[in-house]
Amino acid sequence: MSEINPKIRVEELTKLLNEHNHRYYVLNEPEISDFDFDALLRELENLEKSHPELADKNSPTQRVGGDITKNFESVAHDYPMLSLNNTYSNEELHDFAERTIKTLEREPEYICELKYDGVAIAIVYENGRLVRAVTRGDGSVGEDVTANVRTIRTIPLELTGDYPEKFEIRGEIVFPHEAFNALNASREKLGEPKFANPRNTASGTIKMQDSSIVAGRGLDCFLYSVLGVDFESHYEGIQAARRWGFKVPSEELRYITRVNSIDGVEKFIQYWNKEREQLPFETDGIVVKVNGTANQKLLGSTSKFPRWAVAYKFKAERVATVLERVTYQVGRTGAITPVANLVPVQLGGTMVKRASLHNSDQIDKLDVREGDTVFVEKGGEIIPKIVGVDKSSRSEDTKKLVYADRCPECGETLVRKEGEAQHYCLNESGCPPQIKGKIQHFIGRKMMNIDGLGAETVEQLFEAKLLNNIADLYDLKAEYLLPLERMAEKSVNNILAGIEASKTVPFPQVLYAIGIRYVGETVAKKLAQHFGSVKNLLEADLETLVNVDEIGQKIAESVKDYFEIPENIDLINRLIKAGLKLELNKEELENRSNKLEGLTFVVSGVFSSMSRDEIKNAVETNGGKVTSSISKKTSYLIRGENMGPSKLEKAEKLEIALISEEEFVAMLE
C-alpha cells in the first residue's frame, strides 16, 4: 500500500472541511455528523502539527482562534465606507423616491434588504483566499480584525467557483439571539453582569484581543455588497457572492427582494415591521437601494452617503407602565445594580416585569420615582430600559427616590469610589450573593473547570453550610454530601473527582479563578509570569505592581487591596495547604529570565522547531513583549516561512531587525 502524501491529504481535508462547513453553517444542509466532522478536523490538525510547513492561516483548523492581538492596526479603505441617510416615515421614503425619479426620469427597480443591527465589516479576498478584514472606523480608515473574523464560520476562508482575482465584499457581523442568550446565561452562572444587547456585544467581541474567545461566541455574518467587480446590478453581485460561497441575504426567507415601485418597498417594510420579532437576530430597519449599477452612478453620492440608497428605521417599540418599586441586585464583585420592578406589560412579544436602572446617576437623570408611570423601550436592546417618566401623571405625594445606602443582602454600608458609577458592598466574605458568585466563578470552565458542580449545586451546598468560600471546596467529603437531596453516590464521586483534578490547574489559571477584581485571564498570566508565585505577589508593593508590563494603577490597587484583607490571606494559605498550584513549577521557573526585557517582538510565518504560540510564550517568559502589528516600537520581527508580504514590507520600511527562528533561539541561549 502506497504511503499517503501529506501535502495532498492536507489539501483534500481542507477542501472537504470547507465544503462541509459551508453546508452546515451557510446552507443549513449538513451531510455528515458532528462526530465525523471533528474526526476529519483532528486528522488535519495532526498533519499540520507533524508537517508545520503545510500549516496555513486559512486552514479550517484556525477557526478556533488563538491569536492574541494587542493593537489593532489602522488600515485605509480602498473604497470609502459611507453611511446611509436615514428615514423614519413614509413621507420621507416618498421624498427619496421622487428625487430618484426626477434624476433618472423614470422609476427604477429597487432592492429591499433587512438592515442588520451589528458591526459593518469590509473583507478583501485575493485568489479566492481571505487576506484582510477591516471595521468601518470613520469610513476612511478602519481597524484590522482579520484574526477574529477568521473564526466566524459563515465567512469562507477559501472560495469556490468563478471568483475574480481580487475584490472586496462588505456585510454585517451580527450576534444571533440564541448565541447571545447562551453567553448571558453563562455569565450569570459565573456571577458576571449580563451584556445589554447583541449589537454592542458583537462590536466588543470583534475587537477582543484573544481570537479563541471570539471563536466560542457564535457570531454570524451576512455579506451583501461586492466592490471591485463590474456587475450590471446590485442583485447580480449578490447572486455571484452566493455562488462563491458567501452567506448572503435569503430570498426564500424574504430577507431581500426586488420591487418595481415605492409601493412595493412600503409593503416590504410593513411586513417586517410586524414580523421582525420572529427573526433570529436583531434588525433596526430596511435598506432600500436602486438596483441598477448604471443608475447608481447617475445618482452619485454626497460626501457622507450615497444618493441611490436610504435606510428606513423602525420606530423603537415603547410602552407605558407603572414602576412599583426599586430593588437592588448584588453581583459577584459586590457591584450594586438598581432594578425597576414594573406592572407587567407586553413589549416586543414578551412580558416585561423588570428593567435595569443601571446606577444612581441614571436614576437622578430620569428623576424616576416609585409609583411613576414610566416609558419602557426595547428597540435594539434585549434588556428593557426606562427612557422617560410621564411626570404629568405623577401623584403629588410621590417622594424623590433615595438610593440604597446599605447592601440589600447583608446590610453592609455601600461605598462608591471616586470616578466610578456603581456603588459596592465591600463585605466579600459575608454577603451571600458575593460568596456564591465567587465560588461559581472559581469552578468555571476557564478557571478551575470543576466537573459535577454548577450554580444549583453551589446554592445547595451554601444553604447546607458546607460552602462559604472557595477553599471550603477542598474540605468536602462524601459523608458530607451523600445525605443531601439529589446527591447519589455517582454524582458525589464526580464532584470530588473534579475537585481533586483541579489541583493540577496551572498557577496563572488559579490566580484568575480566585476572582481578584480586574484580574482577568490575561492579567493573571502577566502577574504569574512576573512574580512566579502568589507569595511573591502578595509581598509586592504598589510601585512594583504598577511597573509590571501592562498592569496599570487601577489593577495594581485592586491586587494590593485584595491581599491587605486578612481573610483573603487565610484563604490563600488554605488553598496552598490543599495542594493547589500557586506558584510556577520548577521547569517554568528555570525557563524564566529577563534576557528580553525591554524588547518588543512580532512573530509571523510558519516555523519548524517551535509553534508561533511557543515562540510567543518564550518571549514573554524571558521578559519580552509580543505584539501583533509592526510599529516603530518593534524591536525584532521573528520571520518564519510564508509570512505575509505586508508585514515584511512595513518592517523593511521602518528598518525593523528581521531574525530567523534559529537566531531567536540563540538569543535565549
Q: Do 497 and 547 fall within a single domain?
A: no
Burial category of 446 from C-beta neighbours within 10 Å (exposed 0-12, middle 13-18, buried 19 and up): middle
pLDDT tens-digit series, residues 345-370:
887 657 889 988 888 998 999 999 99
- What is the mean predicted confidence (pLDDT) over 472-484? 94
Strand ranges inside 136-255, DSSP E: 141-143, 166-174, 220-227
Count of residues in the chain: 669
In a domain, 222, yes or no: yes
Tell me which of 82-86, 112-116, 426-430 is least confident.
Answer: 82-86
Q: Per-residue pLDDT tens for 602-647?
A: 888 878 888 877 888 788 778 788 876 788 889 999 988 877 676 7
| Residue range of the domain that includes 488 | 432-504
Does 219 lie in the same domain as 189?
yes
142-163: b (≥16 Cβ within 10 Å) or e: bbbbbbbbbbbbbbbbbbeeeb
For the stretch 240-279, pLDDT in tens is 999 999 999 999 999 999 999 999 999 999 999 889 888 9
CATH number, position 53: 1.10.287.610
Please indicate, yes or no, whether residues 551 and 573 belong to a single structural domain of this protein. Answer: yes
Kindly indicate the confidence band of residue 598, based on its pLDDT and cuts at 50, 70 and 90.
confident
What is the SS3 assignment for 23?
Answer: helix
Q: What's the CA gap between 376 and 523, in Å, rounded?
A: 39
The reply to whether 108 falls in a domain is: yes
The alpha helices in 53-176, defined as continuous H runs, are 90-104, 146-149
Beta-strand relationship, 657-659 and 636-639 = parallel
Q: Is residue 415 one of the residues assigned to a domain? A: no
Residue 332's CATH number: 2.40.50.140
Q: Does any domain span residue 524?
A: yes
Q: Is the dihedral of CA 476, 479, 485, 487 positive or negative?
A: positive
Task: Please indicate, yes or no, if residue 308 is contained in any of the structural domains.
Answer: yes
Say yes or no to pLDDT of 503 above 60: yes
Residue from 284, 280, 290, 291 nearest 269 by CA? 284
| 147 in any annotated domain | yes
CA 245 to chain centre: 25
Question: What was the pLDDT predicted at 28?
Answer: 60
Return d(Cα 646, Cα 8) in angstroms, integer.
28
Report pLDDT for 380: 47
What per-residue string of b and e applies to 479-517 under the rule 16 or more CB within 10 Å gives b? Answer: eebeeeeebeeeebeebbebbeebeebebbbbbbbbbbb
- Both 358 and 272 in one domain: the answer is no
CATH number of the domain at 190, please.
3.30.470.30
Average pLDDT over residues 122-129: 95
Same domain (yes/no): 170, 269: yes
Most confident residue range from 388-392, 515-519, 568-572: 568-572
Estimate the crossing angle of helix 661-668 against helix 612-621, to 10 degrees: 30
**Do 378 and 464 have their domain in common?**
no
Domain co-membership, 522 together with 548: yes
Integer Cα distance of 358 and 379 in angstroms = 17
Mean pLDDT of 152-176: 94
Measured N-to-C along each axis, helices 507-514 and 521-531 cross at an angle, to the nearest 10 degrees, of 130
How confident is the model at residue 1, as a pLDDT? 42
pLDDT 10s digits, 27-76:
666 677 766 776 787 788 788 888 888 887 777 777 665 555 667 888 88
Which CATH number do you get for residue 522?
1.10.150.20
Closest alpha carbon to 114 in 319, 296, 275: 275
Query: Mean per-residue pLDDT for 304-314?
Result: 90
Q: Quote the Cα angle for 540-544-546, to 5°.
A: 120
Is 627 in contact with 67 (CB distance < 8 Å)? no
Whole-angstrom Cα distance, residue 123 to residue 156? 11
In a domain, 342, yes or no: yes
Of 286, 313, 340, which residue sits at a domain end? 313
633 among known catalytic residues: no
Q: Are residues 530 and 612 in the same domain?
A: no
The domain tally of the chain equals 6
Does 455 share its domain with 513?
no
Cβ-Cβ contacts under 8 Å for 292 (sequence gap 6 or more): 108, 109, 232, 233, 234
* 181 and 262 within one domain: yes
Q: Which of 376-385, 420-429, 647-656 has the highest mean pLDDT?
A: 420-429
- For residue 20, the model assigns a pLDDT of 77
Which residue intervals of 249-308 are DSSP H helices? Answer: 262-275, 293-299
What's residue 330's pLDDT? 93
C-alpha to C-alpha distance for 368 and 401, rounded to whole angstroms: 7
Claim to verify: residue 585 and residue 597 sit in the same structural domain: no
| pLDDT value of residue 595 | 84
Query: What confidence score (pLDDT) does residue 66 get?
Result: 54
Residue where a domain stops, chosen among 489, 504, 519: 504
Together in a domain, 569 and 628: no
Kindly state the percentage of the chain with pLDDT values over 90: 50
For the ranges 43-52, 108-117, 491-500, which has the lowest average pLDDT? 43-52
Residue 289 vs residue 647, higher pLDDT: 289
Residue 185 CA: distances (Å) to CA of 217, 357, 437, 458, 462: 12, 20, 14, 16, 21
Mean pLDDT of 157-178: 94
Catalytic one of 15, 49, 57, 115: 115
Measured distance CA(181)–CA(195) in Å, rounded? 9
Q: Does the residue 216 lie in any domain?
A: yes
Query: Residue 644: which CATH number?
Result: 3.40.50.10190
The tens digit of pLDDT for each residue in 420-471 reads: 888 999 998 899 999 999 999 999 888 898 978 888 899 999 999 999 999 9
Domain ends where: 365, 393, 421? 393
Decide: 217 and 153 in contact? Cβ < 8 Å: no
